[in-house]
Amino acid sequence: MNRRSGIGVTAVVCMFVFVLLAGSVPAYAQEKVINLNFSNFFPASHKNSIIMADWCKEVEKRTKGRVKLTYYPGAVLTPAGQTYDSVVKGIADVGESVLGYTKGRFPLTEVIDLPLGYKNAYVATKMINAYFKKFQPKEFDQVKVMYLHAHGPGILFTKRPVKNLEELRGMKVRSTGFSAKVAAALGASPVAMPQTESYEALRTGIVEGILNPIEAMKGWKIGEVVKYTIENYGSAYSTSFFVVMNKSKWNSLPPDIQKIIEGINEEWMEKQGKQWDAIDKEGREFMTQRGNKFIALTKAEDTRWAEKVRPVIDEYVKELRTKNLPGEEALKFCLDYLKTHQ
Q: Which of 254, 280, 306 is the last residue of a domain?
A: 280
Is the domain of 196 the same as that of 123? no
Same domain, 255 and 161: no
Percent of the chain whose predicted confidence (pLDDT) is above 70: 91
What is the domain-level CATH number for residue 81? 3.40.190.170
CA–CA gap between residue 268 and residue 91 (Å, rounded): 24
| pLDDT band of 4, cuts 50, 70, 90 | very low
The answer to whether residue 173 is domain-embedded is yes
What is the rounded CA–CA span in Å between residue 70 and residue 73? 10
Same domain, 163 and 250: no
254 in the same domain as 148: yes
Same domain membership, residue 249 and residue 134: yes
Q: Are 231 and 298 members of one domain?
A: yes
The phi and psi torsions of 210 (rounded to 5 degrees) equal -150, 140
For residue 148, tell me if it sits in a domain.
yes
Q: Is 228 found in the same domain as 134?
A: no
Number of C-beta neighbours around residue 171 at 10 A? 20
pLDDT tens across 133-186, in order?
Answer: 999 999 999 999 999 999 999 999 999 999 999 999 999 999 987 899 999 999
What pLDDT digit, counting tens, does each position of 44-54 carry? Answer: 999 999 999 99
The per-residue pLDDT for 195 is 86
Domain assignment present for residue 263? The answer is yes
Q: Which residue has the higher pLDDT, 327 or 8?
A: 327
Q: Give the residue numbers spanning the domain of 121.
A: 32-152+239-280
Distant-in-sequence, close-in-space partners of 49: CB < 8 Å, separation ≥ 6:
40, 42, 43, 73, 74
- Strands (DSSP E) found in the chain: 34-40, 67-72, 94-98, 143-150, 155-158, 172-175, 189-192, 209-212, 228-231, 240-246, 293-296
| Same domain as 307, residue 209 | yes
Whether residue 22 is contained in a domain is answered as: no
pLDDT digits (tens, 9 = 90+) for 285-307: 999 999 999 999 999 999 999 99
- Domain-located, residue 44: yes
Question: Structural domain tally of the chain?
Answer: 2
Is residue 160, in this structure, part of any structural domain at all? yes
Q: Is the pLDDT of residue 268 over 80?
A: yes
User: Would you say residue 29 has pLDDT above 60?
Assistant: no
> What integer is the mean pLDDT of 38-46?
95
User: Is residue 26's pLDDT more than 70?
Assistant: no
Task: Check: CB of residue 243 under 8 Å from CB of residue 148.
Answer: yes
> What pLDDT is recorded for position 30?
57
pLDDT at 341 over 80: yes
Alpha-carbon span 98 to 256, nearest angstrom: 29
